[in-house]
Structure 1
Amino acid sequence: MKAQQHTRSQRRILNLLKNLNQGISAQEIYVELRSQNQGLGLATVYRALEALKREGAVQVRMLPNGESLYSSVHEDKHHMTCLECGKSISLNECPVHELESQLHRSHQFTIFYHTLEFFGLCNQCQAVHQD
């Protein structure tokens, strides 16, 4: 894969995401960059994120409420998310790495990242619904 030339806006966003250990929304990126006196317009943030996503430099995780969380692509992150309280539990293992390799070989498809999400009810919310 050839190295991409990033705009100043894209570099600022990538630096922010690399320093975080969690996903962050576009609005939170906008607020954080403004607090660092690196103000970008919200539309610029969205355009930069879209370009970074298309080249595989950032990954997007969609929450059940429709919010998108952006993070740098460094490792697969998989979650179980409670639909009631929103609690999200990270999974430390990935059962689909072999499938990813097979898809890459059989379809000559370059895969930048994948996500795996399970949705349901956590223990506390199950207890509330059973009462």
Structure 2
Amino acid sequence: MKVQRTRSQDRILNLLKSLNRAVSAQDIYVELRNREQSMGLATVYRSLEVLKLGGAVQVRTLANGESLYSSVQRDQHHLTCLNCGASITLNECPVHQLESQLEDSHQFRIYYHTLEFFGLCDRCSTAHDSEKADSTPHL
């Protein structure tokens, strides 16, 4: 049985598919207004929640707590810098086989997964190492 979506949910889903990148609820709200398809911010959040629970939208929460939404097109994998917030997308996925095993062993329908590693990017790591070296007492 196909789930009946509201007009607001359809608009948001179509927008996310056309943007082809993860965006915040605020960005969705502004973009819909720019496209003369405005809706209230509360409606945007409610629609995103329904779409997420239905497996049509995935959410990624950044280290700063901001949530980014995208249409479910593929799994997402990232390296995220805790210092500058830079996020590097990984194209390979080391957990696809595990996903299938979990679905089978737990009778659990998986819509998508995310894999995120947090640390320091090369630029921030170099700056951090320099700061550490500068603060080390010289004898």
TM-score bin, normalised by smaller chain? over 0.9
Alignment of 1:13-24 (within 5 A): 13-24=12-23
Could you give the per-residue CA deviations for residues 6-63 of structure 1, whole angstroms, max 9, x where no partner exists? 1000000000000112100000000000111111000000000000000000000010
Moved over 2 A (4+): none
Structure (1 or 2) with the larger CA radius of gyration: 2
Identity of aligned residues (%): 69
Unaligned runs of 5+ in 2: 131-139
- Measure, in 2, the Cα distance between the counterparts of 1:3 and 1:120: 41
Alignment of 1:80-95 (within 5 A): 80-95=79-94
TM-score (structure 2 length as normaliser) = 0.92
Match of residue 107 from structure 1: 106
Match of residue 129 from structure 1: 128
Q: Which amino acid in structure 2 is aligned with residue 25 of structure 1?
A: S
Q: Which amino acid in structure 2 is aligned with residue 34 of structure 1?
A: R
Match of residue 67 from structure 1: 66
- Measure, in 1, the Cα distance between the counterparts of 2:45 and 2:129: 42
> Helix, strand or coil: the match of 1:65?
coil
TM-score (structure 1 length as normaliser) = 0.97
Match of residue 137 from structure 2: none
- Measure, in 1, the Cα distance between the counterparts of 2:120 and 2:16: 29
* Alignment coverage as a number of residue pairs: 130
RMSD: 0.6
Unaligned runs of 5+ in 1: none
Match of residue 44 from structure 2: 45
Could you give the per-residue CA deviations for residues 58-101 of structure 1, whole angstroms, max 9, x where no partner exists? 00001000000000001111100000111110001000001100
